[in-house]
Structure 1
């Protein structure tokens, strides 16, 4: 690096001596000015100076008057300002002080040692070089910061877009999340299955910020896809766990609370993997029960070790359920004391909305700061509000009556499907049928009933008719996993003579949808107990189907079921 140095000195001999002392410096380009006027010319020139050696007593003016003009900032950066060393015989303290106030970097009293001058010049130029290097680094840093902010904005936009598309509102569910970073490692997923079930997941990923948010992305798309296809909660949990094991680093996992509200079975199932207890709260803001974590988080255990057993309650068991992430009770105050779970119980309120508000007010008061140590999420689930919506108590009439554009008004239709062997492993018949049903622009209540009936009948035909699986396999601590593993083994052994067939036909006169499901199995006994499905440990599917159909006929030997579903009135 070469530095530009201007020597302002009216004494020609002194200029020569100084020039000779500095000429050995290969990194200096020396310019000279012999008067006040010549120095002013340099002020008006475009030459960038790094150092000015300024004599005070010039023949046509005083150099100290030029100090403010030489030392004013260029382009708003101190790195572009030349350093100025005053050269003067005046050793008055007030004059020296005035020079430094005007911006002088150093002062050398005449007569001076030329060796000392050379050392001071080297020191000032070295400082100037470091300042310029620091300024360049700062500029590069600003560019990197701007680029990072832009990339973060795009990442945030993409993340929010994906989450928004994959999450649907569910009646009775209220939540609030406060992020400790630009990205949140907490997430709440909500979706309603075609048969009317609602599944809510409260997720807390490992770490903070973007690294935690990225871990959640595989969960988001898989969750919505599986719910839209009508998979049960246990199947969703298994698939999410499998995805996280395959798609994320080994040190990443997701703590999860999952609730499945089923208006058809009139029950709610709760699963807790690594999260704080889920609280069941009554109308008097008292805790009725709690579901503690008895499972490992998602993305830790293999399929064979992962447990999907849930705790099941009647749908109207409590006034509302309350779930929250550990960022709530672990938040500390200025004394490093956490909020604690006892404080959470103290702020339970008779309504879900009031409880969420009270908890966040208590959190803000406890933390005493706007930023929290961790992401904080609180979610409430009101089963009564959900059930009212699911049963139509709060559904507008326009959503339950046939619309003018309903394609059923154009006459009857028939649709059928036959799947054999390994096709039954890869294709979900109810989902295929629902593609047609959704195109017909039917009332939502009818769509939910059709999917429920199809799912139960096809599951019964495939699992019990073709695969000959016993419901008792589901009993026990790992019952669902044992059942799923045995089901996968038998599906892999299916032959061409194994099949399931479904057909749909619309009776335009009776305003009924006829559904027929048959299979290649040996059949089953039509004697289905008439009881509340919630009281049964197995065989509840056909009991539930009977509640939503008008005609129910099992053709001997029991491998063909015909039902009719009336259009909602």
Structure 2
């Protein structure tokens, strides 16, 4: 209803019309008067009218002809009829048409005003209720669309970053559309397999959103060839930057290395990892010795790993805490150790283990919708290692030779797509993905060193000492770039020795690799790039006279 209600009064009797209009105006109602159906026609589509008060019999016809039209166009607007007839044979038909009430003549002004205001308030309440329902429906629709978009992203991430690895079998049970658990695996450029099982605080979309930054960072760091300790620190830093400080991610990290015949573990806030020998006998329970990601600041996160020989561990079984919490059997709650024993009986059947533990859920304390997510993974170490070795050993030789050079000058030095372009081109030519990942890492590090430390002449230590100052110095240097500043990147493929030669030179002072000698700790958050490049390269040579670095990678 408007602040000042507007009523259309249709009455041909001048005395009655003046009486009614005066009574309503005295109570703050704006009255629009009409004496014939022809005059009413001009107001039928007027959205500002809050109530129609109409006589039935007019000189030019019956006003009842307009009632269906008004009700159809504006169903919330009350229509009241006035009649002096004592024959009410038409009353039922008027009510069916949508008339709210009848007022008999002679009119009692006080009673009429009271009825008018009663219907105005009622109509106002209905409009408010309808508006509330529309708002609620809009919010519900928007929420559904947002959840659908979030799930699309969530599902895409799972499909993109969760790879099928021989010997790795996983099963899960989500309490809803979104799962707060996620298992990822990725191959490092050195041939190692790194697996992460993460369990975010809570469940549903909030838990899934907590995991998003970790998923993308994990895959990127593994593909760069960083050590597991360095990956942990990157994940911790990414979590602290993008997730509220009351949301944590309990995690298990496992690195299987066929080259060193070892398997490494890091358990942060998760249930014990169960290890079995070749006779399928349980030989070890690897308990959590670390906090979940997000609890401690990054500089306090331990990167110490537990290492075992692959000869002693043949099977692994690990899972999220939803698999062992809130379980009951024969009316008695089960301890974690009892749950471990149940799972150990079918450690190599993840789907069966989920069904078994699901049947033991104590639903007397929580509803089924509030149950925690469950995820369990079994790794057949022997099959997994064999698959990794076969994949690493098979490399079809790349025939022919090629060579190309990039020279970036001035503001084109800010083009960070160059390393991507090189690795993508090589992958398209037929080089294996793992090799292209090494090329990407090497090219990225050498190009960044050439730009930041060579052309921009920024101290390499500044990045770890004061990152904000480093970013500020880099931004200022980028603004002042000139065309006589450049970086040259050369790529040459030697088919006879199956070697890829990479040469990077800059027009600046060079990046002075001797100043980075102290930055060989691969678990540091910064300053580990050069050590990583050297570890990948068969040869590494730096020429201070030409500010150029030459490395060779064996394919």
TM-score (norm 2): 0.59
Give the 3-state SS of the residue equivalent to 1:191 in structure 2: strand
Mapped partners of 2:317, 2:11: distance in 1: 82
* Deviation for aligned residue 1:361: 6.3
CA 1:80–1:195 in structure 2 vs 1: closer, same or farther (change >3 Å)?
A: same
In the other structure, the counterpart of 2:183 is: 188
Matching residue within 386, 389, 394 for 2:387: 389
In the other structure, the counterpart of 2:227 is: 232
The more displaced of 435-444 and 113-122 is: 435-444
* Deviation for aligned residue 1:243: 3.3
CA 1:443–1:101 in structure 2 vs 1: closer, same or farther (change >3 Å)?
A: closer
Mapped partners of 2:430, 2:97: distance in 1: 82
In the other structure, the counterpart of 1:349 is: 346
Mapped partners of 2:335, 2:92: distance in 1: 60
In the other structure, the counterpart of 1:538 is: none
* Deviation for aligned residue 1:411: 7.7
Paired residues of 1:327 and 1:375 also in contact (CA < 8 A): yes
Matching residue within 216, 222, 226 for 2:217: 222
* Deviation for aligned residue 1:254: 1.4
Matched, 1:254 2:249: yes
In the other structure, the counterpart of 1:51 is: 51
Matched, 1:19 2:40: no
Paired residues of 1:193 and 1:229 also in contact (CA < 8 A): yes
Give the 3-state SS of the residue equivalent to 2:238 in structure 1: helix
* Deviation for aligned residue 1:122: 1.7
* Deviation for aligned residue 1:309: 3.5
Residue deviations 1:332-382 (CA, integer Å, cap 9, x gap)? 99xx99998657865763643543663586489969988455444343333
Matches within 5 A, 1:509-524: none
CA 1:82–1:216 in structure 2 vs 1: closer, same or farther (change >3 Å)?
A: same
Mapped partners of 1:80, 1:226: distance in 2: 62
Matched, 1:83 2:78: yes
Matches within 5 A, 1:370-385: 371-385=369-383
* Deviation for aligned residue 1:201: 0.9
* Deviation for aligned residue 1:256: 0.8
In the other structure, the counterpart of 2:303 is: 308
CA 1:73–1:512 in structure 2 vs 1: closer, same or farther (change >3 Å)?
A: closer
Which blocks of at least 5 consecutive residues in structure 1 are unaligned?
A: 414-433, 456-487, 490-503, 521-544, 546-564
* Deviation for aligned residue 1:3: 4.1
Matches within 5 A, 1:361-376: 362=359, 371-376=369-374
Residue deviations 1:85-116 (CA, integer Å, cap 9, x gap)? 35568999999888766645445565563112
Mapped partners of 1:514, 1:43: distance in 2: 85
Matching residue within 195, 198, 216 for 2:193: 198
Matching residue within 263, 269, 275 for 1:268: 263
* Deviation for aligned residue 1:224: 1.9
Which blocks of at least 5 consecutive residues in structure 2 are unaligned?
A: 404-422, 443-463, 466-491, 502-512, 515-534, 536-552
Mapped partners of 2:245, 2:170: distance in 1: 30
Matched, 1:28 2:30: yes
Matched, 1:321 2:316: yes
Matches within 5 A, 1:136-535: 136=131, 138-139=133-134, 146=141, 150=145, 153-158=148-153, 160-161=155-156, 164-177=159-172, 183-209=178-204, 211-280=206-275, 289-303=284-298, 305-315=300-310, 320-330=315-325, 346=342, 349=346, 351-355=348-352, 358=355, 362=359, 371-392=369-390, 403=396, 406-407=397-398, 409-410=399-400, 508=496
Give the 3-state SS of the residue equivalent to 1:391 in structure 2: helix
Matching residue within 86, 95, 116 for 2:111: 116
Mapped partners of 2:276, 2:363: distance in 1: 23
* Deviation for aligned residue 1:228: 2.0
Mapped partners of 1:13, 1:119: distance in 2: 20
In the other structure, the counterpart of 2:474 is: none
CA 1:282–1:26 in structure 2 vs 1: closer, same or farther (change >3 Å)?
A: farther
In the other structure, the counterpart of 1:480 is: none
* Deviation for aligned residue 1:128: 2.2
Mapped partners of 1:27, 1:180: distance in 2: 57
Mapped partners of 2:269, 2:38: distance in 1: 75
CA 1:221–1:177 in structure 2 vs 1: closer, same or farther (change >3 Å)?
A: same
* Deviation for aligned residue 1:159: 5.2
* Deviation for aligned residue 1:223: 1.7
CA 1:70–1:390 in structure 2 vs 1: closer, same or farther (change >3 Å)?
A: same
Paired residues of 1:282 and 1:350 also in contact (CA < 8 A): no
Mapped partners of 1:285, 1:115: distance in 2: 93
Residue deviations 1:211-244 (CA, integer Å, cap 9, x gap)? 5444334323332232223333233223322333
Give the 3-state SS of the residue equivalent to 1:387 in structure 2: helix
In the other structure, the counterpart of 1:479 is: none
In the other structure, the counterpart of 2:411 is: none
CA 1:381–1:103 in structure 2 vs 1: closer, same or farther (change >3 Å)?
A: farther
Q: CA RMSD in A?
A: 5.6
Mapped partners of 1:378, 1:442: distance in 2: 35
Paired residues of 1:281 and 1:288 also in contact (CA < 8 A): yes
The more displaced of 381-390 and 38-47 is: 38-47
